[in-house]
Amino acid sequence: MRACLVCQNVDCKTRGSEQLMVELQKRVAAKGLTDVEVKPYMCFGACQEGPNIVIYPEKSWYAGVKTQDLDEITDHLAGGPNVQRLDTIDSSLKELIYQLLDTGIF
């Protein structure tokens, strides 16, 4: 099972991450992606650049996601290409968060 984690901390929420998560769940279901679970995550620590979405275990991080980006992200989840323009997060933060996810806390 792959996880598509959508940050639900204060900043991301005020930028609409709740609606993004619901919308993404609908699109993933509509595409029949049964191996993907779209779910909330407490925080990735990139508050200024949210809403943030991390796909695990493949470790893709999309920042500043808007509703109009969701089709491309769904395509990626279905095996399509990475959405390069949303991959803007600093590598040291990525490393910190990916190590945390590797411990199983999600």
What residue ranges bind another protein (CB under 8 A)? 9-11, 42-45, 47, 93, 96, 99-100, 102-105
SS3 67: helix
Dist. CA 14–CA 90, nearest whole Å = 22
Distance of CA 78 to the CA centre of its chain: 14
Q: How far is the CB of 43 from another protein (least distance, A)?
A: 3
Tokens of 88: 């803007």
Minimum CB distance to another protein smaller for 31 or for 40: 40
Minimum CB distance to another protein smaller for 31 or for 94: 94
Q: How far is the CB of 68 from another protein (least distance, A)?
A: 25
Tokens of 17: 């991450």
Minimum CB distance to another protein smaller for 10 or for 78: 10
